[in-house]
Amino acid sequence: MTGKTIGTLPRGEPILSLRGISKSFGAVSALSDIELDVHAGEVVALVGDNGAGKSTLVKVLAGVHRPTSGTISFCGREVLLDDPGTAMSLGIATVYQDLALCENLNVVANLFLGHEMKPWRLDEVSMEVRAWTLLNELAARIPSVREPVASLSGGQRQTVAIARSLLLDPKIIMLDEPTAALGVAQTAEVLNLIERVRDRGLGVVMISHNMEDVKAVADRIVVLRLGRNNGVFTRDASQQELVAAITGASENAVSRRIGRKEAGAFKAAEAGEGREIAP
Amino acid sequence: MSLENTTPKPAPALDRADVRVRHDDGVGGSLRAFLDQIRSGDLGMLPVAVGLVVISIVFSSLNPIFLAPNNLVNLLFDCATVGVISLGIVCVLMVGEIDLSVGSISGFASAMVGTLWINHGWAVYEAIPAAMAVGAVIGGLYALLYTRLGMPSFISTLAGLLAILGMQLYVLGATGSINLPYESALVRFGQILVMPHWLSHSLAILPGLVALASGVRVIRQRHRANLSAQSFGRLVLKASVLTAVLEFAVYYLNLGRGVPWMFALFVALVMVLDYLLTRTKWGRSLFAVGGNREAARRAGIKVKRIYTSAFVLCSTLAALGGILSAARLASSSQQAGTGDVNLNAIAAAVIGGTSLFGGRGSAYSALLGIIVIQAISNGLTLLNLSSSLRYMITGGVLALAVIVDSLARRSRISHGRA
């Protein structure tokens, strides 16, 4: 990985800060009064139930949606993210949940979409070499970069989307459910990648429903609930604490289920005691 | 230990490291890759090739004049006019939109050239750019309606079809048609002017040479970058087949009057558009917007600008096509651009392999498609069929072309090729 940004940002300096961000779609307020800081060299996990506003928040930061109110500061400067291109040129790279790939184009074309080398005489060879280098760094198993993306599996597409976000040497990377479609090895590779990116001094925002992945890499865990901040945790927080913050109650479907399972196991153990084991 | 094992194995090329992928090298491999491609619904130029062979056999058996050199020269004169319009259609189809008013735009442009030039005494080199500029403005208007108001291009251009036809009739006024002088350069260009034989033969060598030179450059670059490349032999074979085909075509046409300059202009435009579509960022963006508009937007592409460029290019080329057909007919009339011009222009692009659904296509589809359509229309004219039969047959062929496109698309989806 060749990063221009290596070492330029001292660790711990806030790259991105959000103050009072709200976003409403008609009568529905998807986000209200969100506060979020992302520092250089830090992995922030964004967790929350379905409909908590995680993806909306990512889209606001990516310039896809405009916030209804609130301010976004990037590297200490207040910025207006009104266009995906603006966010990208600032150094905010995004891997969307739906990946946002063009299925009719091949892998190289997708990786470089909007940022092709030599706009009036595309440099296909250099782009292909860079594509292979990036994909190999991610330990990607892509059979051919000259096949349309439509022929790739879900996991391969995810890797292509992640590779694309790294292409422009961003200062901050946002990953919306980066491991949802990935196999065991690729998930580990993505988690390694997140750590490598963090160690280079970049900020990482990661959305995941997988608590194991979150706890494995996150420095801070920010919980959203119904479009509002609902607590910030370190990775040492217990599963119960997190689930309680996510669902909004210590009495919830998850705890009830665990309770039922424990009771069931107890009963099964009791029943087993009286039975004779066949020789 | 045998000797073979001691020699170090060369590292596999960067793009040949995956053992699961079959790499089709050599002649057998090329054939196998081609068959796979057809089976998965990626038909490319195949329907056109098959169509042209069938058409030639059928029509020449019915009337041997069909394949006579001078008839083919006439055919190429006719191809150039609607072909230029079809070239613009390729651009709008590429982004998944359509322009149904290209016929009216071409008619209006021909009427404008006629009135400005003959009735108002403008110079012809002033009238032509003026008509094309008006075409561009119309395209800009469609783009504005689409990008700002979200008006579907299908509806806005359907409205445009009528409105612009009205403007054409208004401009022509009571007389209804304006004759263009036969001795003028424009009409001679549209009816008579052909290339000198030596020039057409030399130009026919060029594509092969360019293909060879750029192919060798790419092979060198790819080897230097540790990527696999096609073999030199295959490249030479391709270039020589291309040159042989072109030289034969030119030789055959030169047995008649020769290669029309107007057709050469059309081919030059096709080659320019092909370069723009395949080798520039703009072309890549056009494909991206047609394939997945939202993904293109999120990649930072200015989607509205891409739509605007496609609409403007389409209507400008439609205006140019109208001017060429005025030159071909030596008149600007109320009938110009009406009838089957719209449908022929759109069908040519689709027959040539540009998808109606966006994101797939090439500039060459306009060239090949229009040759098929004009060949059918020319053949039917030679048979002296009544226009009722001609319309029915042409309509059937167009429907067939769209059916092939739809089936191929379904097959592509099931083979994971979008």
C-beta neighbour count of B147 within 10 angstroms: 16
CA distance B279 to chain A (A): 5
Beta carbons of B404 and B356 less than 8 angstroms apart: no
Residue of A nearest to B18 (CA): A143
| Cβ neighbours of A111 in B, within 8 Å | none
ipTM of the complex as predicted: 0.86
**To the nearest whole number, what is the mean pLDDT of chain B?**
89
- Burial of A241 by CB count in 10 Å (0-12 exposed, 13-18 middle, 19+ buried)? middle
DSSP conformational letter for B226: T
More confident residue, A263 or B340: B340
pTM: 0.87
CA dihedral A135, A139, A143, A144 (to 10 degrees): 10
In the prediction, which pLDDT does A3 show? 37
Q: Which of A101, A125, A159 is most worth mutating to test chain B (most B CB atoms within 10 A of its CB)?
A: A125
Residue range A184-213, pLDDT digits in tens: 877 887 888 888 888 878 899 999 888 888
Residue range A105-124, pLDDT digits in tens: 999 999 999 889 899 999 99
Say yes or no to pLDDT of B384 above 50.
Answer: yes
Say yes or no to pLDDT of A7 above 50.
Answer: no
Who among A101, A115, A142 is closest to B295 (CB)? A101
Contact between A120 and B21 using a beta-carbon 8 Å cutoff: no
The reply to whether B295 touches chain A by the CB within 8 Å rule is yes
Residue of B nearest to A127 (CA): B225
Residue of B nearest to A147 (CA): B417
Residue range B133-162, pLDDT digits in tens: 999 999 999 999 999 999 999 999 999 999
Average pLDDT over residues B102-123: 94
Say yes or no to pLDDT of B336 above 50.
Answer: yes
DSSP string covering B56-93: HHHHHHH-GGGGSHHHHHHHHHHHHHHHHHHHHHHHHH
CA distance B66 to B35: 32
The reply to whether A234 touches chain B by the CB within 8 Å rule is no
In the prediction, which pLDDT does B371 show? 94
CA distance A173 to chain B (A): 14
Spatial CA neighbour of A29 closest among A68, A63, A61: A68
Average pLDDT over residues B110-132: 94
More confident residue, B369 or A255: B369
| Cβ neighbours of B301 in A, within 8 Å | 85, 113-114
Report chain B's C-alpha Rg in angstroms.
Answer: 24
Say yes or no to pLDDT of B190 above 70.
Answer: yes
Who among A62, A132, A150 is closest to B417 (CB)? A150
**Long-range residue pairs from A77-81, CB within 8 A, at least 24 positions apart, any chain:** none
Beta pairing partners, A74: A16, A77
Contact between A114 and B218 using a beta-carbon 8 Å cutoff: no
Who among B225, B301, B418 is closest to A150 (CB)? B418
Beta pairing partners, A174: A94, A205
CA distance A168 to A186: 22
Average pLDDT over residues A171-181: 88
Say yes or no to pLDDT of A274 above 80.
Answer: no
CA distance A138 to A127: 17
In the prediction, which pLDDT does A270 show? 64
C-beta neighbour count of B25 within 10 angstroms: 13
Who among A109, A126, A143 is closest to B20 (CB)? A143
In the prediction, which pLDDT does B72 show? 95
Contact between A100 and B14 using a beta-carbon 8 Å cutoff: no
Say yes or no to pLDDT of B396 above 80.
Answer: yes
CA distance A111 to A146: 12
CA distance B206 to chain A (A): 20
How many CA atoms lie within 13 Å of B124's alpha carbon, on the beta-carbon side? 14
Beta carbons of B72 and B252 less than 8 angstroms apart: yes
Average pLDDT over residues B250-264: 95
CA distance B215 to B236: 9
Amino acid at B97: E
The residue ranges of DSSP E strands in B242-390, in sequence order, are 331-333
Spatial CA neighbour of B211 closest among B169, B173, B244, B162: B244
Predicted confidence band of residue A262 (pLDDT cuts 50, 70, 90): confident
| Cβ neighbours of B287 in A, within 8 Å | 102, 104-105, 109
Who among A85, A102, A116 is closest to B292 (CB)? A102
Predicted confidence band of residue B94 (pLDDT cuts 50, 70, 90): very high
Say yes or no to pLDDT of A6 above 70.
Answer: no
Spatial CA neighbour of A111 closest among A138, A82, A80: A138
Q: Which of B39, B281, B297, B411 is most worth mutating to test chain A (most A CB atoms within 10 A of its CB)?
A: B281
In the prediction, which pLDDT does A273 show? 53
- Burial of B26 by CB count in 10 Å (0-12 exposed, 13-18 middle, 19+ buried)? exposed
Considering only A165-169, B82-86, B156-160, B186-190, which range has the smallest mean pLDDT?
A165-169
Spatial CA neighbour of A232 closest among A72, A47, A42: A47
Residue range A240-260, pLDDT digits in tens: 888 888 888 767 777 777 777
Beta carbons of A5 and A91 less than 8 angstroms apart: yes
The reply to whether A101 touches chain B by the CB within 8 Å rule is yes
Beta carbons of B108 and B164 less than 8 angstroms apart: yes
Residue of B nearest to A153 (CA): B416
Average pLDDT over residues B65-79: 94
Residue range B345-361, pLDDT digits in tens: 998 998 888 888 889 89
Who among B15, B221, B418 is closest to A144 (CB)? B15
Strands A69-74 and B177-179: unpaired
DSSP string covering B172-216: HTTT-EEEPPTTSHHHHHHHT-B--HHHHHHHHHHHHHHHHHHHH
| Cβ neighbours of A157 in B, within 8 Å | none
**To the nearest whole number, what is the mean pLDDT of chain A?**
84
Residue range B27-64, pLDDT digits in tens: 677 777 778 777 777 776 777 888 889 999 999 999 99
Token pair belonging to A73: 């500061």
| Cβ neighbours of A124 in B, within 8 Å | 218
Considering only B132-141, B190-199, B204-213, B406-415, which range has the smallest mean pLDDT?
B406-415
Say yes or no to pLDDT of A278 above 60.
Answer: no
Distance of CA A124 to the CA centre of its chain: 30
Contact between B299 and A114 using a beta-carbon 8 Å cutoff: yes
| Cβ neighbours of A149 in B, within 8 Å | 418
